Amino acid sequence: MNRGTEQDREMLNALQKEKLLDLFFLHIRNLWRVDGLYFLGIEEKFGTDAATQIDADCWKLIGQLEAKELKKTFGFKEIDVAALLNLLTKTSWALDQTNKEVEVSRNRGIFRVVKCRTQETRIRKGLDVFPCKKVRFDYLKSFAKELNPQIEVECKVCPPDQRPDGFWCEWEFKLRSI
């Protein structure tokens, strides 16, 4: 560990736990603000389709990298559906979704975004709903594949799909029958 990292750790360690968590969530929101601002800039200049494809390519790689880092950080060796959902709830995407539901069993899990910060911000700004299905699907598939290639991801609903009242998107994770 280099000296700058040691100093940063000491400075962060001196913060009260509540302030440290506030700082942590501030940086997660900032990550998503940057993502949204880049997307809006690309969308304005090149259109929604181009912005969505660029976003999907980036988040597909992030899914793989994030899964690898989380698995290492939390010391998981074997990944079943429950372990995958455990790690998924620790991703920047899941942590940014402050109103979500998770249902888990050994071989099946559901991740549901009840209130989507991104979609609700777009609506508040007078923009169309973002057709995020490709972006999120590629991200979640690469996340799952990195952790356990036997876990399949199925999109139950995600924009541009017609969504039911009560939530924005729902993803199912199942252990593939061998």
The DSSP call for residue 130 is P
Q: Is 33 within the bounds of a domain?
A: no
* 41-70 pLDDT tens trace: 999 999 999 999 999 999 999 999 999 999
* Cβ atoms 153, 144 nearer than 8 A: yes
Domain span including residue 57: 49-175
Domain CATH code at residue 153: 3.30.1380
Identify the pLDDT of residue 177: 75
Mean pLDDT of the chain: 93
b/e per residue, 150-171, with b = 16+ CB within 10 A?
Answer: ebbbebeebbeeebeeebbbbb
**What are 98-102's contacts with CB under 8 Å, separation 24+?**
101/167
Burial class (CB in 10 A: 0-12, 13-18, 19+), 172: middle
* 85-115 pLDDT tens trace: 999 999 999 999 989 999 998 689 999 999 9
User: Helix 17-46 vs helix 48-74: angle between axes, to the nearest 10 degrees?
Assistant: 150
Q: Is 171 within the bounds of a domain?
A: yes
The span from the CA of 70 to the CA of 67, in Å, is 5
Model confidence at 1, pLDDT cuts 50, 70, 90, reads low
Domains identified in the chain, total number = 1
